[in-house]
Structure formats: C-alpha cells, structure tokens
C-alpha cells in the first residue's frame, strides 16, 4: 500500500502496532515509505492512539462552515474533534457522503449511500489527497507527502495559529487537495 488510512483509535498504545506503523513508514513503497494517516478521535479531548504516534499524519475535523468541530459548533451534531500538538491537518468531518451496504445491513436502509461523520470521515479525505499527491509525483518520500499536505493547507480565520503556522485544533490548516497536487 502507498497510503494507510486509519479511521480507528483508542485504547492503550501498543508497541506492536507502533513498530508496524514505523516499519511501513520507513520501508514501504520500496523504501520511500507509506504515508500513514490517522483519525484524532471524536471525544473533544487530546489526540488518541494511533494518531499521536510520531510520523503519523493526524487528522482533526471541521464542519462545512469552516468551524473546528466541537459539541457546540453550529452544525448541531453533539461530538467534538480531538485536538493537540500532534494534529497535522484538518478536514471536513460532518455529513460526508459515502458508499454503504445496500439493504438491511447498511446504515441507510435501502440506499447505496449514507452520511458519514467524525474524524473517521475526515481521515479518508486526507488519505485520498495523499494518494493524489503520489499519483502526481510517485517518487516522493512519505515525509515529503506529509510536508506538502501540511504546507498547502488553508489557514482558517480564527484558527489561532502560532508563529510556526500550527494550531492545536487545525494543525497546519484545512486540507486543500488542489494546492497539494499542484505542489507535488
């Protein structure tokens, strides 16, 4: 795999998982490294495992009004994105449309599509952007892909970015796929 999208989390850190992620990050893609993307969590608290592992592109969530997702943001959903110094980038995580299992086994009964929320819906957007960056320039190392995604993210008004351009909520900003692909 070129990109590993991890929309799971929680529990105590595991040295076996950390070692497997680091091995993929260092040795994947014939030594250029797999880009590892992980959801920060939806508890409106500190970034959870495995998004807090070094070298992982940790993804927080915003809504469609460019508000950081909190339990009180204007979208009316009662959950909040996790935040912290590990956040690399933010992506939309409210009412994203996704494919679904049709029939009784799916979320939206009788439909091939469902609304998907949370940092688990924001994370695949960033993973897809990483794949597009690699399609534009397959020779990039994983750290270069992470750098491009962070460097080309949009600074959002009210994001409280520090003097390095980082915010504990937004990371380096809201994902901008077009800018990332152009930069690649």
Among 48-52, 143-147, 156-160, where is mean pLDDT lowest?
Answer: 156-160
What are the residues facing 83 on neighbouring strands? 46
- Residue 161 phi, psi (nearest 5): -85, 140
Query: 36: closest CA among 60, 59, 6, 81?
Result: 6
**pLDDT of 158 strictly over 90:** no
pLDDT tens track for 79-103: 999 999 999 999 999 999 888 887 7
User: Mean per-residue pLDDT for 115-122?
Assistant: 93
The predicted model gives 42-60 an average pLDDT of: 97
pLDDT value of position 102: 79
How far, in Å, are 94, 99, 114, 118, 134 from residue 111 at the CA level? 19, 9, 7, 21, 33
């Amino acid at each position: 795999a070129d990109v590993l999208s991890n929309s799971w989390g929680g529990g105590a850190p595991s040295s076996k998982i950390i070692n497997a992620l680091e091995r993929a990050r260092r040795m994947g893609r014939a030594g250029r490294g797999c880009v590892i993307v992980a959801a920060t969590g939806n508890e409106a608290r500190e970034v959870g495992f495995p998004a807090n592992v070094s070298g992982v592109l940790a993804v927080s969530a915003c809504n469609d009004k460019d508000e950081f997702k909190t339990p009180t943001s204007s979208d009316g959903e009662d959950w909040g994105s996790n935040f912290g110094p590990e956040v690399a980038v933010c992506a939309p995580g409210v009412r994203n449309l996704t494919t679904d299992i049709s029939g009784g086994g799916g979320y939206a009964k009788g439909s091939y599509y469902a609304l998907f929320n949370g940092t688990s819906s924001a994370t695949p957007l960033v993973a897809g952007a990483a794949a597009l960056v690699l399609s534009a320039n397959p020779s990039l190392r994983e750290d270069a892909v992470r750098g491009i995604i962070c460097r080309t993210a949009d600074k959002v008004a009210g994001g409280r970015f520090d003097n390095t351009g980082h915010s504990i909520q937004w990371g380096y900003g809201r994902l901008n796929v077009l800018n990332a692909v152009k930069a690649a």
